[in-house]
Structure 1
Amino acid sequence: MASLTERMIGAAMLNVATYEEVEADQTATSQAAIVVAIVAVAGAIGNYFRHGGRGIIGAVIAAFLGWLLWAGITYFIGTRLFGGTATMGEMLRTLGFAQSPGVIAILGIIPFLGWLIMVVIAIWQLVAGIIAIRQALDFTTGKAILTALIGWVIVWIITAVLFASLLGGAMAGVR
């Protein structure tokens, strides 16, 4: 069994065997959660000059909620709409490790290049997520892409509604 670091590197390198390993290892869910936390902190540090030091705790909480939401939605779409076979734990593990490329988000702190680094990471994580979905649900790349795209739209709609609700509530208190 590989270490957390070896698994993160394997996931970031888009190594299918790594995704299969974490999918099968029922004890790796806590490791996947650690990956989500590490990536959230790296991203918060990388965005330091744009947003200041505030928000690291919020970033970690949002990362965990996003991970749970993304895994739940892709699990539902993949198993119900496309006939994939997986457990929720398998989705959590593979999608948690798919966030591994985000560790380099700490480089977002570099002036003038930070935004470009973040774009590259987002694309990299999307590709890793598609591989994670494909491996966890045991189906084709095409179905994994469709699952990811449909799931992404649903996550963004939910996020927009929640943000609007929170912002609306905050604005109602300001008169």
Structure 2
Amino acid sequence: MNNLLDRMLRAALLDVQLYEEVEADQEAMGQAIAVVVLSNMAAGIGNIGQGGLSGILLGAILALVGWFIWAYITYFIGTKILPEPQTRADLGELMRTIGFSSSPGLLRVFGFVPLLGPIIVLAASIWMLVSMVIAVRQALDYQSTYRAIGVCVIGWIFYIIIMIMFTILFVAAL
């Protein structure tokens, strides 16, 4: 557990070496999953007034599905459409680094705090996005941070479209 907490702290501190470490560590997938679940449970707790306890569980499940979808989209865009000459990566490497980029999301547990909660959630969300850019840059061996930003933005757009389609299908099925 100490190793996980240390890695989460280093990920939140935007430690480039941490992202290289988890990219190479195939045993870190379980830890990456734990980070994604913990981050989204923290968001659920911070927003418990709206989602209740069932919202926390559903949010954790949807977060894992969303993490996989976003990682796959990012992998495809980053390795097939916008690779740099030295880009060599597999889906697992991206899943591990992107998973750890969720570490700052633990701060979303404070979302329920009057007045400050929304500011904390916004700051944590921006911090997570910056972490993801670093995770993608390292996993895809990019020299350009701008390329990593582009891959993240394009991936996010496709991710949102896919999640909207899933939501529409889910609501239609009810």
Is TM > 0.5 for Structure 1 vs Structure 2?
yes
Cα RMSD (Å): 1.2
**Which runs of 5 or more residues in structure 1 are unaligned?**
171-175
1:1-175 to 2 correspondences below 5 Å: 3-83=3-83, 84-139=87-142, 140-170=144-174
Give the CA deviation at 1:164: 1.3
Distance in 2, matches of 1:128 and 1:34, equals: 17
Distance 1:70 1:93 in 2: 12
Q: Tell me, in whole angstroms, the C-alpha distance in 1 between the residues paired with 2:167 and 2:153.
A: 21
Using the size of structure 1 for normalisation, the TM-score is: 0.93
Unpaired runs of 5+ in structure 2?
A: none
Provide the rounded CA distance (Å) in 2 between the counterparts of 1:100 and 1:157: 25
Distance 2:162 2:103 in 1: 24
**By how many angstroms is 1:117 displaced?**
1.3
Q: For residue 163 of structure 2, what is the amino acid of its counterpart?
A: T
Please list the CA deviations of residues 78-130 of structure 1 after superposition, one character each: whole Å capped at 9, or x if unmatched: 00011232111100100000000011111112122222211111111000000
Contact 2:77 2:155 in 1 (8 A): yes
How far residue 138 of structure 1 moved from its aligned partner, in angstroms, is 0.3
SS at match of 1:111: coil
Give the superposition deviation at 1:52: 2.7
CA distance in 2: counterparts of 1:168 and 1:89, whole angstroms: 33
2: distance between equivalents of 1:81 and 1:108?
A: 37
Counterpart Cα distance in 2 of 1:87 and 1:158:
22
TM-score by length of 2: 0.93
Identity %: 44
Task: Provide the C-alpha distance between the structure 1 equivalents of 2:54 and 2:31, rounded to a whole number of angstroms.
Answer: 26
Alignment coverage as a number of residue pairs:
169
Counterpart code for 2:170: L
CA contact (8 A) 2:48 2:55 kept: no
Q: Give the corresponding residue for 1:173.
A: none
